[in-house]
Each structure stands twice: as structure tokens, then as C-alpha cells.
Amino acid sequence: MSISLVSPAFAEGQKIPRHFTGDGMDVSPPLRWSDPPQGTKSFTVVCNDPDAPRGNWVHWVLYDLPRVTRDLPENLPPDPDLNDGSHHGTNDFGYVGYGGPAPPRGKPHRYSFHVYALDTDELGLSSGATKDQVLSAMKGHVLEEGELVAVYAR
């Protein structure tokens, strides 16, 4: 069984609206997910582009989200530490927070949004951690995950 991850801004396999990209306002999209399994103590959200010219490009890392969280609003502040105790990681643009799609001109790229339900309250990382650091800290703690894939092209 997996977590159902959706966005009210776009559907699975559909185009990400310009508003959420580097060509628009470059704000994070709203996300919602279903109830996780028992024992969930926190969530992690990651977004990446597996079609980037240099390989997998990380657009967003957000971790230590409280277990009561079931959605993220549009335009989540790019603060390193959020009011709910969660932390933003560093994306491959080199800054903390969400960095929207900005692919080279050509064929559409896929953007994979993941939510992970974890059996730990905190990963023990300070804000600004990389995706690799977060995934390493999550090892052995993932109860379930969900994925939403959308596309964008210039």
C-alpha cells in the first residue's frame, strides 16, 4: 500500500502550470496526501527531475514535517526552518527551499514529487541538508511513500 499524493494545481502526468516554474512565480505547488500507516511520526517531501541533462536534478527537499501534516500550501516560505518544526534542504540550484522547473528548451521533463512517511520524529539534520543526506538519514525509517509525476517544457 502506498500514500496517495495529489496536487490541486495539476494532475498526474499533466503539465505543471507556469506559475510554479522558473518561468513564472517560481513558488512551490500545493500538495495533499492520504493518511499514512500507523506508526508514522514525520514526513519528508522531495521533488526532482530525472530528465535533467546532468542527471537527476533536485528541486525541493523538505523534512521533519509533523505527523499531523496532510498537505502543503502553495508558496511555502523558503525559510530554512519553518514554524511547524520542519526544515528545508538545499536544492541543486544551490539555495534552500523550492526551485521550480526550468529545463532547457526541448522535450518535456518529468518532475517527480515524493512524500515519505517515516517512523521517526526527526532525522537529526539541521536545515540546508542535501537530498543525499536526507535519504541517507531516512534509511530504515520509511514506512510508506507516494509519488506524483508531472511534466514541464519550454
| 5-152 CATH, one of 3.90.280.10, 3.90.1150.220, 3.40.640.10, 1.10.540.10 | 3.90.280.10
pTM for the model? 0.97
Task: Please determine, for residue 99, whether its predicted confidence score (pLDDT) is greater than 70.
Answer: yes
Distances in Å between the alpha carbon of 3 and those of 57, 79, 125?
23, 26, 24
Class of residue 71 by CB neighbours under 10 A (exposed 0-12, middle 13-18, buried 19+): exposed
32-70: b or e for each residue (b if 16 or more CB lie within 10 Å)?
A: ebeebeeebbbbbbbbbbebbeeeebbbbbbbbbeeebe
Averaged pLDDT score across all residues of the chain = 97
Q: Using one digit for the tens of pLDDT, what is the confidence trace for 78-97? A: 999 999 999 999 999 999 99
Percent above pLDDT 90 for the chain = 99
Q: Using one digit for the tens of pLDDT, what is the confidence trace for 1-37? A: 599 999 999 999 999 999 999 999 999 999 999 999 9
